[in-house]
Structure 1
Amino acid sequence: MLWNKWIQFYFHLPIIVRLLFSVSLLMLLFGYLIHLIEPSHFPTIFDGVWWSFVTGSTVGYGDYVPLSFLGKLIGIILILAGGGLVTFYMATLSAGTIKHEKDLTDGKVSFKGANHTILIGWNERTKQLIQMFKEQHFKTDTVLIDHTLNKISYQDHHIHFIHGQPTSDETLKKANIEQANFVVITADPSMTEEEADRQTILNIIAARGNHPTVHIISEILTEVQRINAIRAGSNVVLRSNNFMSSLFYQSLFQKDVQVTDIIAKTLEEQQFCSHLIEGALTDHEFYYCAQTYLQEKKWLIGLIRNDEMILHPSFSLIMQKGDRLIYLKGMDLNKRR
């Protein structure tokens, strides 16, 4: 019964492990045998094992050589049996490495890391976001989930690709969503706006169901679905259509200024932050708070009060307990999160 369990255990091991175990056992056996047959030429078991590995792998250093007929016969058997087994092991190891690389490119390998960022959807926005991660040295592993891509090279994009539907629990588990810090869901450009928003909401529900506390950032195209995205569990909802419309509007009245370049430069070099107002600033005017923050090279631009965002308020506005101040600060290119 015990022997059968060992056999079952052996054949349930990965083939690479089985071959390595078989090669090692065979070399140990022949090394021990040659030590017994010619103890004068192989004074220790280790000397015999060294000879068996060198001979079985067809390297043949020649520092240990059997002299007796029986010893030479053992050597012949070792070359015939061990040489083929070692060659098969090396070929299997090489084939396994190539297969793993192909599976990684095809999105079939599960992600084993933690504290990573999951991107759902492959489009120009995710491409640019990945490029920004790289340029700004954002210290996070990135996992991409997409069902339209057949393959993507890790060497080219430095991301871990998972092929599959983002609404599938199996796909999300492959991305190890339970240990992720962020999930970024972009709208599918191949769908209509209504279809894309419905798909985004389904993606939010699936992600939230697999990780109740993960921070989800989603892109919504229509105003009618914004509240549904929040209800589904999105922490941040980005309205890309509103943003683009605002840019078009600003550009109509700023013919001599590239509004998009100004905003892009601001987002590239400045970071938007918020901070719960401290006791020392409570009951002071907004102007006083702005001066205080300016001393720390932080540009105060507004506040959040009762879930309402107030940008560029009156300088005489009195700060209240529970307000969150919104400010800009320069990014440190040498130190990222």
Structure 2
Amino acid sequence: MNDRFLKLLYHRVPNILKLLLLVLITMPIFGFLINLMEPDRFPTVFDGIWWALITGSTVGYGDFIPETIPGRLLAAFLVLSGGGLIAFYIASLSTTVSKREKKSQEGKLAFHGNNHYIFVGFNERTRRLVDLIIRHYSNKKIVIIDRSLDNLSYTKLPVHYIKGNATEDDILHMAKIKDAACVFIAADNQKTDYESDTQAILTTIAIRGNNQDIPIVSEILSEKQIDNAGRAGATTIIRSNDFMSSLFFHELDPEVQATPFEDIYHLLTQQKFIHLPLPDSLIGKTYSEAVPPFLEKGYMVIGILRGKDYMLHPKIACVLKEKDIVICMVHR
């Protein structure tokens, strides 16, 4: 039983560790032997080990040199055997690092970490979103799952790429879905709206099946699939087509002298939305009376969320009620 266990353990140990173990065993043996052969020249075993390591690696500082014929024969044998062993170890180490780097670029390595963001689908929109996260939250780790890329050319850290289909449990486990902080599912612009939404909904179901509590932000293109995405478990649904259509309408409106796209873009890059519960002291107060206390704390109030109703820039005489949520913006 013990022999079988040792054989199993030996075959499971990576070759690079086997070589390192062999080096760690061989060098002390040569150090011990040279200490026995030339105790005057090598006073301690440690001196012998140091000589064996330097000689075997062909560095040769020359601080310890054997003087007797047996000692020099041992040195020659060390150079022929130990030198090749150390060189082979270094070459194996370089090869291992190179293979790991290649696997990382090809998306074949599992992620090791927690509290990270997962992005399903990589495109220009996702890339810009990753840039924003790195700019504002430099310590946040990011995992990108995409099945269409052969390798990820994005070089900014900390980004980890996994190639595969996010509807498969194995791929989600590689991305450590159970330890992630949030998931964003991007629409696939290479597919029709229906196909893209179907894929997003299936991905949402797979993610929710592996993590019941994780927030899922899903981009849906078709209005008909919004309810299905919600039933699948999406926490937030981004209706990009509706948003862009509304934005284009404002850009094309001849009566509006403004630049809505630029205004919203700079607003979102410099500010962030935040929802705050209405303090008890402001219940029953008017909207105009509630705004100043928030401004003093650095929050710009833009409206009230009452249940599912958004009341943006309400009338100043609007009376606030219990359980109202104050929608604010604050500097990043």
TM-score of the superposed pair, with normalisation by structure 2 = 0.94
Matches within 5 A, 1:149-228: 149-153=149-153, 155-156=155-156, 158-228=158-228
Instruction: Tell me what 1:289 maps to.
Output: 290
Once the two structures are superposed, what CA deviation does each residue of 1:54-74 show, in whole Å capped at 9, x if it has no partner?
A: 111111222222222322222
For these two proteins, the number of residue pairs brought into alignment is 331
Decide which moves more: 70-79 or 176-185. 70-79
Corresponding letter in the other structure for 2:276: H
Helix, strand or coil for the counterpart of 2:314?
A: coil
Matched residues in 1 for 2:307 and 2:258: separation? 36
RMSD: 1.7
Decide which moves more: 24-33 or 296-305. 296-305
Helix, strand or coil for the counterpart of 2:303?
A: strand
Instruction: Tell me what 1:122 maps to.
Output: 122
Instruction: Tell me what 2:113 maps to.
Output: 113
Matched residues in 2 for 1:63 and 1:295: separation? 72
| Distance verdict in 2 for CA 1:138–1:68, change over 3 Å | closer
Is this contact kept in 1: 2:106–2:152, CA < 8 A? Answer: yes
Matches within 5 A, 1:275-286: 275-286=276-287
How far did 1:264 drift?
A: 0.7
Matched residues in 2 for 1:41 and 1:4: separation? 44
Matched residues in 2 for 1:154 and 1:25: separation? 43
How far did 1:2 drift?
A: 4.0
Corresponding letter in the other structure for 1:288: E
How far did 1:38 drift?
A: 2.0
| Distance verdict in 2 for CA 1:276–1:207, change over 3 Å | same
Q: Residue 233 in 1 paired to residue 224 in 2?
A: no
Instruction: Tell me what 2:312 maps to.
Output: 311
Q: Residue 264 in 1 paired to residue 265 in 2?
A: yes
Decide which moves more: 129-138 or 51-60. 129-138
How far did 1:6 drift?
A: 3.4
Instruction: Tell me what 1:334 maps to.
Output: none
| Distance verdict in 2 for CA 1:68–1:138, change over 3 Å | closer
Is this contact kept in 1: 2:200–2:219, CA < 8 A? Answer: yes
How far did 1:155 drift?
A: 2.7
Helix, strand or coil for the counterpart of 2:327?
A: strand
Instruction: Tell me what 1:33 maps to.
Output: 33
Task: Return 5+ residue gaps in structure 2 as ranges.
Answer: none
Matched residues in 1 for 2:192 and 2:163: separation? 23
Matched residues in 1 for 2:67 and 2:157: separation? 58
Task: Return 5+ residue gaps in structure 1 as ranges.
Answer: 332-337
Is this contact kept in 2: 1:154–1:160, CA < 8 A? Answer: no
How far did 1:228 drift?
A: 1.4
Instruction: Tell me what 1:104 maps to.
Output: 104
Instruction: Tell me what 1:335 maps to.
Output: none
Matched residues in 1 for 2:200 and 2:72: separation? 72
